[in-house]
Amino acid sequence: MKFSLQMALRFLRSSKGQTLMIIIGIAIGVSVQIFIGSLIQGLQKSLVDTTIGNASQITITNDRDDKLIDDHKMLMDKIKTTDDDIINITAVYDSATFLAIDNESQSLLLRGFDIDTADKIYDIYDRIYLGKAPIKDNEIILGKQLQEKYDLSLNDRIDILTVDRVDQVFTVVGFFDFKVTSLNTNWGITTLTTSQTVFDSDGITAIEMQVDEGSVFEADAIAAKIAEQLYDYDLKIDNWKDANQQLLSGLQGQSVSSYMIQVFVMISVILGIASVLAITVLQKSRQVGILKAMGIKNKVAGQIFLFEGFILGFLGAVLGILFGLGLAYSFTIFAVNPDNTPVVNLYIDWRFIFISGIIAMIASTLAAAFPAIRSSRLNPIDIIRNN
Amino acid sequence: MENILELRNINKIYGTEIKNQVLYDVNLKINEGSFNSIIGQSGSGKSTLLNIIGTLDKPTSGDVIISGKNVKDMKLDQLAEYRNSMIGFVFQFHYLLPEFTAMENVLIPYRIGNNKVSNEIRRRADDLMNLVGLEKVKNNLATKMSGGQQQRVAIARALINQPKMILADEPTGNLDSDSTEVIYELLRKINQELKTTFIIITHDRRIAEKADRIIEIKDGKINLDINK
């Protein structure tokens, strides 16, 4: 083994209590970093997921008076080839209607979906808690709040009035719960064909799509690419980022504050190590002095303390990762909602954890640089002369 | 006999504002394989002289020539290598590393210059341990030994790299008279067997008288130089 490494190990072992304290100090720093990082990432992920996980991330509409998009099949094929990250794409026929029950009427957004492709975005099948998805013409599913409000049951027949006062009778075949009241009270989902038949059109009103999970934050760039591809068709292309500026700046603020916390934790760890190692150099100056008298080179004398820093950093990082994961795990166990689901789902990102560990090791080694310089500058004669 | 060491007009002044001259124009030649003692009162400058010979301290002026090489011309790293291979130190306060066993302490000067300890070196260390009579306690931590034992470990350590010269600063200063006697017998034996040059500072006139040559330092100057 390298002489300086062996020296470092012996020096660390000879003052076990002190070594343990520094390791625990680093470990706490690393664990806080990992915990905060995982917490913020989990928070952001679940926030993004709730906001756009079950929604269209890029939506194409037409500003024309009739709002209709023609030849959508050709357009959708074109869009699919634009970017590999576009995954779920579906055609929709939306129209504002009125739901008329018991002499009461309320507005209803009648959404004509191609149910199978729309399910990939909206999870329709999973959201239906009673009944089934609409398949045949004039079948409809309604939200939980509507069911409760009008005391509806399966196979009830309801009247839907279009803006042109055309009355259509629909059969309720199921009820959904999107966990969002506004959707549960305002949406009525039917098949695309039904919508098209009701409005006597073979067009659609929107093309909706999602992008791959890893590219969620590139939705604006992907939307721009689509816009370029569909330049000739004069369509309006929206993406979730433009529509959710506030959420985005919130997420950004969160990220920045999380980085701030992590940076300050690291700085305090570095200062801690540097000061303890500086004391160690003083404690070991007699040994360093005698080693120098025996012919150890200044560089090697410095290396001893760099190795100490590295070893402390390594052990601290390993222990810190274990602490951090333990902390994260206990957080998901103890900080729970009334239904026993965790308040925040932590996001364990191994790459982030690995990098945190590496940073701690590099930081500890760097923190040892000052003591190392001190050690390499130590003059043996001062030790020998002063005993 | 050839000179292993030559000092030419060595002056040593401590301090910059308040100057304190410790050595005045010291000239000295030491024969290879000789056993020399340096005596003198406290503060006479003998330790400073020894530290200058050992390249731990630098003279304010003058030249230190060891085996024909002027120390002045060497860089720090070269000096370190030189100390490691050419000189063995035995200090009054033995200066063993408390984190290591006696055997490991003996091997340290070798480890400084080499990463691996060969079997041959291990045997040499064992032989040295036998020579200083510590074969039974060689695996004890340095701190778990008596003062005399520690000093003997320090002597074995000084010998591991088979240096040409051993510099000892009151190696028995902290020991009782029996131990002192044993250590001197040992040093003398090594001198005779291995032809290692010894320069030993001592307070003890009885001990000094056993050396081939007695050099007395007084007020920073060589006052007396007796060759037997």
Q: Residue A1 — pLDDT band, cuts 50, 70, 90?
A: low
- Confidence tier at A189 by pLDDT (50, 70, 90): very high
- Is a pLDDT exceeding 70 seen at residue B1? no
Write down the domain spans for chain A. Answer: 3-50+248-386, 64-234
Q: What is the DSSP string of chain B?
A: --EEEEEEEEEEEE-SSS-EEEEEEEEEEEETT-EEEEE--TTSSHHHHHHHHTTSS--SEEEEEETTEEGGG--HHHHHHHHHHHEEEE-TT----TTSBHHHHHHHHHHHH-SS--HHHHHHHHHHHHHTT-TTTTTSBGGGS-HHHHHHHHHHHHHTT--SEEEEESTTTTS-HHHHHHHHHHHHHHHHHH--EEEEE-S-HHHHTTSSEEEEEETTEEEEEEE-
pLDDT tens per residue across span A240-274: 888 888 888 888 888 888 888 888 888 887 888 78
Nearest CB partner across the interface for B56, out of A10, A296, A384? A384
Q: Report how far residue A363's alpha carbon sits from residue A375's, in angstroms, rounded to the nearest whole number.
A: 19
Is pLDDT at B159 greater than 70 in this prediction?
A: yes
The count of C-alpha atoms lying within 13 angstroms of the C-alpha of B216, restricted to the half-sphere facing its C-beta, is 11
Is the CB of B112 less than 8 angstroms away from the CB of A291?
yes
Which residues in A lie closer than 8 A to residue B51 (C-beta atoms)? 381, 384-385
The shortest C-alpha distance from B175 to chain A (Å) reads: 17
Q: Are A173 and A42 in contact (CB under 8 A)?
A: no
- Interchain proximity A298–B76, CB inside 8 Å: yes
Both tokens of residue A331? 């957080």
Residue A93, pLDDT above cutoff 70: yes
Taking a C-beta distance cutoff of 8 angstroms, is the pair A140, A172 a contact?
Answer: yes
Q: Which residues of A touch B83 (CB under 8 A)?
A: 293-295
Which residues on B lie below 8 Å from A4 (Cβ)? none
* CB atoms A287 and B97 under 8 Å: yes
Residue A53 neighbours by CB under 8 Å, 6+ apart: none
C-alpha A124/C-alpha B163 separation (Å) is 87
Q: Tell me which of A79-83, A129-133, A274-278 is least confident.
A: A274-278
Does the distance separating the beta carbons of B47 and A385 come in below 8 Å? yes
Residues of B in contact with A1 (CB under 8 A): 115
Query: Residue B215: what pLDDT?
Result: 92
> What's the confidence (pLDDT) of residue A65?
80
Between chain A and chain B, the number of residue pairs with CB atoms below 8 A apart is 68
Q: With CB atoms and an 8 Å threshold, state whether B51 touches A10.
A: no
Q: Which helix (H) or strand (E) holds A54?
A: none
Confidence grade of residue A73 (pLDDT, cut at 50, 70, 90) = confident
pLDDT for B94: 65
Residue of A nearest to B56 (CA): A381
Indicate the DSSP class of residue A51: I
C-alpha span between A59 and A79 (Å, rounded): 12
ipTM of the complex: 0.88
**Cβ within 8 Å, pair B77-A297:** yes
Do residues A57 and A87 touch, judged by C-beta distance below 8 A?
A: no
Supply angle C-alpha A349, A351, A354, rounded to 5.
110
Q: pLDDT tens across A320-336, in order?
A: 999 999 988 888 888 88
CB–CB contact B99 A294 (8 Å): no
Interface residue of B66, B96, B108 to substitute, partner A, most A CBs within 10 Å? B108
A308 Cα to chain B: minimum distance (Å)? 15
CB atoms within 10 A of CB B205: 10
Q: How confident is the model at residue B198 (pLDDT cuts 50, 70, 90)?
A: very high
- Residue with the bigger pLDDT between B177 and A168: it is A168
Query: What does the DSSP assignment read for A297-352?
Result: -HHHHHHHHHHHHHHHHHHHHHHHHHHHHHHHHHHHHHSB-TTS-BSS-----HHH
Report whether pLDDT(A302) > 70: yes
Q: What is the pLDDT of residue A62?
A: 87
* Record: contact B85-A291, CB cut-off 8 A: no
**Whether residue B72 has pLDDT greater than 90:** no
pLDDT tens per residue, range B93-102:
767 888 899 9
Round to whole Å and give the CA distance between B210 and B187.
Answer: 11
With contact defined as beta carbons under 8 Å apart, do A343 and A333 qualify?
no
Backbone angles phi, psi at B198, to 5 degrees: -120, 135
Contacts 24+ apart (CB under 8 A), B134-137: B134/B102, B137/B102
Give the integer Cα–Cα distance in Å for B28 and B86: 19
Q: Does the pLDDT value for residue B206 go beyond 80?
A: no
Q: How far from the centroid of its chain's Cα atoms is residue B156's Cα?
A: 12
Burial of A183 (0-12, 13-18, 19+ CB in 10 A): buried
Task: Reply yes or no on whether the pLDDT at A344 is more than 80.
Answer: no
Distance of CA A117 to the CA centre of its chain: 25
The verdict on B100 touching A (C-beta cutoff 8 Å) is yes
Which residues lie closer than 8 Å to B157 by C-beta, 6 or more apart?
A: A294, B88, B96, B105, B106, B108, B109
Nearest-by-Cβ selection for B112 from A1, A296, A384: A296
DSSP letter for each residue of A170-234 = EEEEEEE--S-HHHHHHEEEEEHHHHHHHTT-S-BSEEEEEE-GGGGGGHHHHHHHHHHHTGGG-
Q: Are B170 and B89 in contact (CB under 8 A)?
A: no
Q: Is the pLDDT of residue A387 over 70?
A: no
Residues of B in contact with A380 (CB under 8 A): 56
- When pLDDT is averaged across residues A213-236 and rounded to a whole number, the result is 85
Query: What residue type is A207 in one-letter code?
Result: I
A335 vs A297: CA distance, rounded Å: 55
Of B47, B77, B108, the CB nearest to A294: B108
Number of residues that this document lists for chain B:
228
pLDDT number for residue A331: 86
**Nearest Cα residue to B169 out of B87, B67, B74:** B87
- CATH architecture of structural domain B32-55+80-227: 3-Layer(aba) Sandwich (3.40)
Are B45 and B74 in contact by the 8 Å Cβ rule? The answer is no
Q: How close is the nearest chain B Cα to the Cα of A383, in Å?
A: 10
The phi, psi pair for A215, rounded to 5°, reads -110, 15
pLDDT digit string (tens) for B107-158? Answer: 999 999 888 889 999 998 998 888 888 888 888 888 888 888 888 898 889 9
The pLDDT of residue B68: 85
Q: Are A295 and B85 in contact (CB < 8 Å)?
A: yes
Kindly determine whether residue B81 and residue A297, on different chains, have CB atoms separated by under 8 Å.
yes
Q: How far apart are the first and last CA of chain A?
A: 30
B179 touches chain A (CB under 8 A): no
Cα diameter, chain A: 107
Residue in B169, B227, B176 with CA at minimum distance from that of residue B203: B169
Q: Most B CBs within 10 Å: which of A294, A379, A387, as the mutation test of the B interface?
A: A294
Q: How far is B228 from chain A (nearest CA, A)?
A: 31
**Mean pLDDT over the full length of chain B:** 87
Q: Kindly list the residues from chain B whose CB atom is less than 8 angstroms away from the CB atom of residue A14.
A: 98-99
- Give the integer Cα–Cα distance in Å for B224 and B36: 13
Among chain B residues, CA nearest to A5: B115
Write down the pLDDT at residue B34.
Answer: 92
Q: Does B94 touch chain A (CB under 8 A)?
A: no
- Which positions in chain A touch B85 (Cβ < 8 Å)? 295
* pLDDT surpassing 80 at residue B173: no
